């Protein structure tokens, strides 16, 4: 308890109860009569994230958009007349995993200028999600979704050995970099800079 008060005091925070929101009344809000005035308000601020890459997978509707885009990819591939059902499922799985590998594990930095002093320029998008915290809901979703697609693909290809090998290799290529043991690791120096 005392350590927390010392940390807050060192950071310039008040040791008392947390201040409320405007309109909370006289018990500590930033309204009139409490001495704070409008100086503590952030009017016109777009977001408070130093790096918006860290929270993009927690945005409203992003998981639904992800699932819909995989479904649209599968329907587009199904509409090609000379592809069989097993080939379409394998292509859906391989294309999904390839795109996810490229977007999450090869692209580094941020696509916009951030005030983080270049701290995240050597981190992949996967390493930036949720500030690098492991086992968050976003990371679990992005780890489980390729496995679910792999299981569906294996079922609809009737566990054909050729499709099974291709799909397993594709799954491992996208699942292994997500393990906490590989956070920040560049195998053989690939993608180091």
| 62 vs 123: which has the higher pLDDT | 62
Whether 63 and 136 have beta carbons less than 8 Å apart is answered as no
pLDDT of residue 92: 97
Alpha-carbon span 41 to 33, nearest angstrom: 15
pLDDT tens for 106-157 read 887 777 666 666 677 778 878 888 777 888 888 899 999 999 999 999 999 9
pLDDT of residue 85: 95
Alpha-carbon span 31 to 35, nearest angstrom: 8
pLDDT of residue 18: 46
Whether 97 and 171 have beta carbons less than 8 Å apart is answered as yes
Give the three-state DSSP class for 12: coil
pLDDT at 33 over 70: no
In this prediction, residues 74-82 reach a mean pLDDT of 96
Alpha-carbon span 168 to 141, nearest angstrom: 19
| 109 vs 71: which has the higher pLDDT | 71
């Amino acid at each position: 308890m005392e350590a927390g008060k010392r940390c807050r005091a060192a950071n310039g925070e008040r040791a008392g109860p947390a201040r409320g929101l405007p309109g909370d009344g006289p018990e500590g809000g930033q309204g009139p009569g409490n001495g704070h005035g409008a100086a503590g308000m952030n009017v016109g601020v777009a977001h408070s994230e130093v790096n918006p890459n860290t929270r993009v997978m927690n945005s409203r509707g992003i998981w639904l958009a992800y699932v819909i885009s995989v479904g649209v990819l599968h329907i587009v591939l199904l509409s090609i007349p000379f592809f069989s059902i097993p080939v379409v499922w394998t292509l859906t799985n391989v294309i999904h995993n390839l795109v996810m590998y490229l977007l999450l594990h090869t692209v580094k930095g941020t696509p916009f200028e951030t005030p983080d002093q270049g701290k995240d320029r050597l981190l992949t998008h996967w390493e930036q999600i949720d500030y690098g915290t492991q086992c968050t809901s976003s990371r679990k979703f992005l780890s489980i979704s390729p496995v679910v697609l792999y299981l569906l693909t294996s079922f609809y290809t009737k566990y054909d050995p050729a499709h099974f090998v291709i799909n397993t290799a594709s799954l491992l290529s996208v699942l292994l970099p997500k393990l906490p043991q590989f956070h920040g690791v560049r195998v053989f120096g690939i993608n180091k800079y």
